[in-house]
Amino acid sequence: SERSAVYTKTEGHCAICGKFVPYTEFTVDHIVPLAKGGSNDLSNLQCACGVCNRIKQDILPEELMEKLVEIMLRNRIRSTARY
């Protein structure tokens, strides 16, 4: 099946964070989101853990790093404000 092919491409590892994801728990992520003109072609699909897929949402891969940095900075500001 196409789902198996997506999982096999990364040997069961999240293509975003690299963590192993059991077959029953992985999500299929669109590298270029459908909302940004991506397709359902196997070459545009990757294995992702649920956390990474929720963080990535419908943004392009290059925008993901910006979003992660923003989240980390926001969390750092919150944690330093507590002390």
Using alpha carbons only, give the angle 14, 18, 19 rounded to the nearest 5 degrees. Answer: 75
> pTM for this structure?
0.76
**Backbone φ/ψ region at 13: left (φ over 0), alpha (ψ -120 to 50), beta:** beta
Contact at 8 Å (CB) between 41 and 9? no
Task: Give the confidence band of 83 by pLDDT, cuts at 50, 70, 90.
Answer: low
* Cα dihedral 45, 34, 62, 79 sign: negative
Tens-digit pLDDT profile for residues 30-79: 999 999 999 999 999 999 999 999 988 888 888 888 888 888 888 877 66
Question: So what's the pLDDT on residue 73?
Answer: 87
Question: So what's the pLDDT on residue 50?
Answer: 94
Query: Which letter does DSSP use for residue 12 in this model?
Result: T
Task: Give the confidence band of 80 by pLDDT, cuts at 50, 70, 90.
Answer: low
